[in-house]
Amino acid sequence: MEKNFFGAIKMKKLSVNIEEKSFRDFPRTIALNKVNFGMRDGEFVCILGPSGCGKTTLLRLIAGLDRDYTGEIAVNNNNGRLEKECAIVFQEPRLLPWLTIEENLRFGLAEDNAENGERLLQESLGMLELQNFAESYPSQLSGGMEQKVALSRAIIRKPGLLLLDEPFASLDQLTKMSLQEELLKIIRKEKITAVMVTHDIEEAVFLADRIIIMSPRPGRIIADFKIHLKDRNRTGNAFRVQYQKILKKMVKKIKTRQPKFIF
């Protein structure tokens, strides 16, 4: 059996049961309503939907960054301190500009002993071919390279659950496709359990084992697809069939409507 980069990354099962998430501004806005789904260990799920449907809000709830909701979210049946189980990659790299790439990757490894931390660092640099940029600063890198570092920084923590908030949305198409391929290779090799939010249908079909489609606000699950592809050839007929299937479902199910307010 081929050894993983980081040895045994802990696998987690995710259970999401949200009755309601609202924002208490005036008027009160319901962002999510009756969002319920589960995930198996090692599964990659993409949350797909239009802007404003609550995708990022959902990711923040899973990460434990926002606890103001009714319902329950659990990782391995543990619904407390979920942020300790998760690593998250945001739309922006959010690197520390005064630290080198190597120092950014070391950030968060304080709990590892020196020998283990050094091993993880070198493996992380090699995983996305960042060795030649270890002494560079974020301002010296392109946007795509910065996102590589952000992804490495998240995975180096050996998270039980990897969360991705449209990390490639601001990149040009070729860079985006290249990073998607690298991410998919890592996810498959390490058998990482991951949730990614996106509004890009092609990205979701290329990356996901399963796609959950959400309605406009208040966000609800309106469809749940398993992706059955032997390979992820974007120009292949099987890929285009899956793409068209998802697109038709979104056009049919998603109808533009005004956000729901409660006065």
- What is the structure's pLDDT at 159? 81
* In the chain, where the domains are located: 14-85+159-262, 98-157
Q: What is the CA radius of gyration of the chain?
A: 19
Name the CATH superfamily housing domain 14-85+159-262: P-loop containing nucleotide triphosphate hydrolases (3.40.50.300)
Report residues of the chain scoring pLDDT below 50: 1-3, 5-9, 11, 256-263
- What is the structure's pLDDT at 166? 93
CB 150 within 8 A of CB 89: yes
Per-residue pLDDT tens digits for 162-196: 999 999 988 899 999 999 999 998 888 888 899 99
Residue 252 phi/psi, 5-degree rounding, is -75, -40
Q: What pTM was estimated for this model as a whole? A: 0.86
- Integer Cα distance of 6 and 157 in angstroms: 9
- What is the structure's pLDDT at 23? 87
Interior/surface letters 116-141, b for 16+ CB within 10 angstroms, e for the rest: ebeebbebbbebbebeebeeebbeeb
CB 147 within 8 A of CB 115: no
